[in-house]
Amino acid sequence: MAKTRPNEPCPCGSGKKYKKCCAKAPILKNKHFGYRKKDNIKNEKDIIGMRTACSFNAQLMRYIRPHIQAGISTEEINTLVHDYTLAHGHIPAPLNYHGFPKSVCTSLNHVVCHGIPCKEDILKNGDIINVDVTTIVDGYHGDQSETFYVGTDISDDAKLVTETSRRSLEIGIENVKPGRKLIDVCGAIEDFVLGEGCSVVRDFTGHGIGLKFHEEPQVPHYRTASIRNVVLQPGMTFTIEPMVNIGDWRIKILEDKWTAVTADGSLSAQFEHTLLVTEDGVEVLTATE
C-alpha cells in the first residue's frame, strides 16, 4: 500500500496530520476505524500473498473465458480449470472444500451458486452460466466469478438479471473506502438491484478472504443488523459477489447438498471480485483486462 507522508492528512479522516494521528499511534488508528480483531486486517506479507494469489486467479479466469461456448459440458470446464491450476503448481480451492466434489462451481440459468460440474450439463445457445474460480497460491486465496452469455439467443430476462448483477458489483466496489461502514456498501448494492426490479439472494454472502477461503467479515448484499459495527479499514481483504434473481430471492438446496437454485425457478446471475481496502480506496485484486 502507498505510504502516507507525515504532513499529509491522516487517511483515517480525523482531519489531523498523519504524523499527529495514526502514524504515532496504531492503536488509535484502530479506534478511528472501529477495529475488530476478527475483521482479519492483513499485514504487508499477507497483502503480497493475496496479490499473487488473486493475480493467478484472474489469469485462470482469462484462460477459461473463451471456452465458455455452446457444446462444452460443465465437466469439461472443470477439467480445464483443474488442469490449468495444477500445471501452474497451485491448488483449486473448491476441490474437497467441506466435501465439494469438483474444482470449480458452474451455475446454469436458475442455479444461484455452487453448481457441481457434470457430463450431463452441456451449454446451449441462450443459457447463462456463472463460472466461479478460486485458487490457493502459497496458502492465500483468490476468488472471483463471472456470468457468461452462451451464444446470441439471450432472453431479455437473462440480460436484465446478468447486467444488474454485473453493475451491482461495480457499485459495491465504487463504494469501498477506508472509514466507510460496510452496511452502506451493502445497502448501495441492495438499492440498485431492487431498483432494477430484481431481488437479492439472502442465504449467501461475500466474505473476508486470506489464508482461509471464507473468513470474517460476512459481506451480505443487503442491509442487515449483523454488520452494523463493521467499518472498512486499510488491509481488509474481502469479496463482493451479489447473487441476483429475476424473480423471488428465495432459494432451495438440491439433494446433492450443494446446488442452490431459485425456489421459483427464475433466472439468477452473479459476479465476484476479491478486493483490498487501501489507504485511499480499493484495489480490485482479481481484476482482468
How far, in Å, CA of 120 to CA of 99, rounded?
Answer: 21
Tell me if residue 192 falls in helix, strand or coil.
helix
Q: Does 143 bind Co ion (CB under 5 A)?
A: yes
Member of 11, 94, 217, 242 binding ligand MF3 (CB under 6 A): 94
Residue 219 beta carbon to Co ion: minimum distance, rounded to whole angstroms: 9
Residue 130 beta carbon to ligand MF3: minimum distance, rounded to whole angstroms: 10
How far, in Å, CA of 287 to CA of 39, rounded?
Answer: 23
Q: Are 181 and 33 in contact (CB under 8 A)?
A: no
Q: Residue 100 touches which of ligand MF3, Co ion, none (CB < 5 to 8 A by kind)?
A: ligand MF3
CB closer to ligand MF3, 4 vs 286:
286
CB closer to ligand MF3, 143 vs 283:
143
Number of residues located near ligand MF3, criterion CB under 6 A: 12
CB closer to ligand MF3, 3 vs 98:
98
Q: Would you put residue 163 in left (φ > 0), alpha (ψ -120 to 50) or beta?
A: alpha
Number of residues located near Co ion, criterion CB under 5 A: 5
Q: Does 239 bind Co ion (CB under 5 A)?
A: yes
* Residue 25 Cα to chain centre, angstroms: 32
Q: Does 215 bind ligand MF3 (CB under 6 A)?
A: no
Site string for ligand MF3, 269-288 (x = CB under 6 A): ---x----------------
CB closer to Co ion, 4 vs 237:
237
Q: Does 241 bind ligand MF3 (CB under 6 A)?
A: yes
CA distances 100 to 92, 232, 251, Å, are: 11, 31, 19
Q: If you search the block for the grid coordinates 481484476, which residue do you land on?
A: 287
Residue 103 beta carbon to ligand MF3: minimum distance, rounded to whole angstroms: 9
The 3 state secondary structure assigned to 230-278 is CECCCCCEEEECCEEECCCCCEEECCCCCCEEECCCCCEEECEEEEEEC
Question: What backbone torsions phi and psi does residue 252 show, to the nearest 5 degrees?
Answer: -140, 155
Q: Does 35 bind ligand MF3 (CB under 6 A)?
A: no
Closest by Cα among 153, 149, 150, 142 to 166: 149
The residues that touch ligand MF3, with contacts defined as CB under 6 A, are 94, 97-98, 100, 105, 114, 132, 134, 143, 239, 241, 272
Residues in contact with Co ion by the rule CB under 5 A: 132, 143, 145, 239, 272
